[in-house]
Amino acid sequence: MDKKTFREKYLPVILKSAFAIFYTGVVRALAIYMFVTPNKFAPGGINGLSVLLEYLTGLNAGYFLIIFNVPLFFLAFFFLGKRGAIDSTASMLLSSGLLILFEQVKGFPVFAPPENEKIAYGIMAAVASGILLGIPLAGMIRDCGTAGGTGILASLVNKKYRYLSVSWMTSGFDAVVVIASFFVYYEWGEPFADNFAVNLMPVLLALVSLYATSKTSDVILHGFQTAYKFEIITTHPEEVAAEIMERTHHGVTLVHATGMYSHSDKSMLVCLIRKRQIAQLQRIIKEFPDTFAYFTPASEVYGRFIK
């Protein structure tokens, strides 16, 4: 292989993978060390399980991330794909090393709650950690097709049992960790009813973090491509299309249709718009009699859909 082929074909892929490994590993480690561990909740998956084991044993969560991800790497490497296995595991190992390093840095900042403000700090930490953990989740899915961790286990099970959803299995693994966190952080010396808020707080914070992670990941993966597809049945195609194009600055496609009840010729206009323009399009439709429409979300849009 000559240098030109390497530079044009392989170097961009290597650099892209290296960048993804770096930023996902760093952001994940910061989220766990600064927000999750000090506020005593487990955000599901391998990350959450490692945090729980750190709380139980006193050993840094980074070591447990290594212990769990090394066998998962071999499973993913042989059964799911080499590049995805290497990148996702390298990202996890970078996070592990950074977690161990952060512990050695004296005075490293953490979002630790004062004794009388645990709930307020916990909520803020759950939201912040969820947003930060959503960034590497989206990055690994986009770069590798898998986020690693429990996603690898879910994908392996799905290869054998196709009727089992990967997303549902991953959520199931997360739920097991969240439920386990209740028993790990439970203050056994006090009656549950007397310390209801304190004992239930780790579970609620974990749910908030998981939700923030999911929404952040969805926005990164799909947020800039999402749109709504309107299909408009009308007897005034030229006028309606002109109004839509002038007021929304989006194109319109005309499809000739026949009403099966009346057997009369009609026109169907198809257009894609942003969510913020739905009300505007509805106002346009109301201006024309004998016109109705329905719309569906389009999760991803490619091509010249800019506005």
User: CA 215, 218, 224, 228 torsion: positive or negative?
Assistant: negative
CATH of domain 227-298: 3.30.70.120
pLDDT digits (tens, 9 = 90+) for 256-276: 888 777 778 888 999 888 877
How are beta strands 227-234 and 265-273 bridged, if at all? antiparallel
What's the CA gap between 208 and 212, in Å, rounded? 6
- Mean residue pLDDT of the chain comes to 82
pLDDT given for residue 226 in this prediction:
66
Sorted by where each begins, the domain ranges of the chain are 3-223, 227-298
pLDDT digits (tens, 9 = 90+) for 27-61: 999 999 999 999 989 888 888 899 999 999 999 99
